Amino acid sequence: MNAHTAAAKLEREFAFNDKHFELLRVCVREHTGIALSDGKRELVYGRLSRRLRNLGIDNFDAYCSLITAGDKEEIGHFVNAITTNLTAFFRESHHFDRLAALLPRLIEMNQGTRRLRLWSAGCSTGEEAYSIAITVREAIGDPPGWDVKVLATDIDSNVLAAAANGVYHPQRADGLSRERLSRWFLRGQGKNAGTLRVVPDLQDLITFRQLNLMQPWPLRGPFDVLFCRNVVIYFGKETQRMLFNRFADVLAPGGHLFIGHSESLFKVSERFKLLGKTAYQRIS
Ligand SMILES: C[S@@+](CC[C@H](N)C(=O)[O-])C[C@H]1O[C@@H](n2cnc3c(N)ncnc32)[C@H](O)[C@@H]1O
C-alpha cells in the first residue's frame, strides 16, 4: 500500500475494501460496459460515498447488497454516479467540418427517400447533439419535404435531462463564434437569467432518449451518420468489438462514423475504412 492509499484509507468516512471495489467493478461492467481499472478505486469510493450519504446508509456492505439485489432505482443512481460526462460544443471541431462538407452529398444521395438520420450515441449533456444540429442547419438549412432527424442517447438520466433542457452556463459556449451564439442561442429569461438557451428550432431537430449501448436498441435505422466519441474509451476491447459490429449494422451502407480522438478501430472492426482523423465509413 503506498502512502497516498494509506492516507486515503485513514481519512475515509466509510470502510471500503478490495471486496467492495471488486464487486462494484463487476456491477459497473455488467450495467454499463465500463471497465474500471485499479486506478479508479478512489474515484468509485468518492462518487458512491455521496450515494451512501444521500441514502442514509453507513457502510458499503449494505450499499453493495442493494446493487447486487438489483434495486432498479438505485442502479440508475449508481450508473449516473459512475459515468464520466466531459463534453463541449464543437469538441474536435474537424469532425463538424467534415460533416458540413458531407451533408450536401448526403442530400444528393438520399433524394429517393428524402430522409436523413444522424445519431449522437453517448451524448452526455447535449453539446455534441446541438453541434450536429447547428452543422446540419448551417450546411443544408431546413430542406422542404425532407425528414431530417438527430437522435441523441445516453445511459445517464441526469445528463440526458440537462441535454433535453438545452440551457447552458455561458462559459460552456466560450469557444463559439459570435455569429453562432446570436443565431443559435437565446439569453435565458426569468429563472434562466444569466444562462444561454438553444433555440427551439435546434431542439425540434433532436430526439433525446435514454439508451444503454449494452442492451437492445429500440430504434429504427439506417443512420447516415453516427457520432460515438469518447465513450468506448471506457470499454474493454471485446465490448468495443461487439459495439462497432452493431453500429455497422444500423448504419446505411457507406454511412459515416466519428469516434473520439484517442479511440481507434484498429483490431476492433474491419467493417469500416478510415477516411481521416478518427472519421470512418462503413464498408461492409
Ligand atoms: C465522456 S462523455 C462523451 C460525450 C460526447 N460524446 C463527447 O465526446 O463530448 C461519455 C458519455 O458516454 C455515456 N455512456 C457510458 N456508458 C454508456 C452506455 N453503456 N450506454 C450509453 N451511454 C454510455 C456516459 O454517460 C457519458 O455521458
pLDDT of 5 higher than 70: no
The per-residue pLDDT for 8 is 57
Does residue 263's CB lie within 6 angstroms of at least one atom of ligand 1?
A: no
Q: Give the angle 263-82-206 at the CA atoms, nearest 5°.
A: 65
Which residue pairs from 5-11 have beta carbons closer than 8 angstroms and sit at least 24 positions apart in sequence?
8/42, 8/45
Domains and CATH numbers, the chain: 3-82 (1.10.155.10), 94-282 (3.40.50.150)
Distance from the alpha carbon of residue 121 to the mean position of ligand 1, in angstroms: 7
Residue 37 backbone dihedrals phi, psi, to 5 degrees: -80, 170
CA distance 16 to 47: 13
Name which of 10-24, 50-64, 151-165 the model is least confident about.
10-24
Put simply, whether the predicted model's pTM sits higher than 0.85 gets the answer yes
Does residue 207's CB lie within 6 angstroms of at least one atom of ligand 1?
A: no
Query: Counting every residue, how long is the chain?
Result: 284
User: Which residue bears the cell 425540434?
Assistant: 204
* Residue 271 annotated to the active site: no
Atom 9 (ligand 1): residue with closest C-alpha? 87
H or E element in which residue 70 lies: none
Does residue 203's CB lie within 6 angstroms of at least one atom of ligand 1?
A: no
* pLDDT (mean) for 40-61: 97
* Residue 154 annotated to the active site: yes
Atom 10 (ligand 1): residue with closest C-alpha? 231
Give bridge partners of residue 148 from the DSSP assignment. 116
Alpha helical stretches, state H, the chain = 3-11, 18-32, 41-55, 60-68, 72-82, 94-109, 127-140, 157-165, 178-184, 200-205, 237-250
Which of 47, 172, 197, 209 is labelled catalytic? 47
CA distance 225 to 151: 10
Give tens-digit pLDDT for 83-100: 999 999 999 999 999 999
Does residue 158's CB lie within 6 angstroms of at least one atom of ligand 1?
A: no
Which of 25, 117, 154, 271 is labelled catalytic? 154
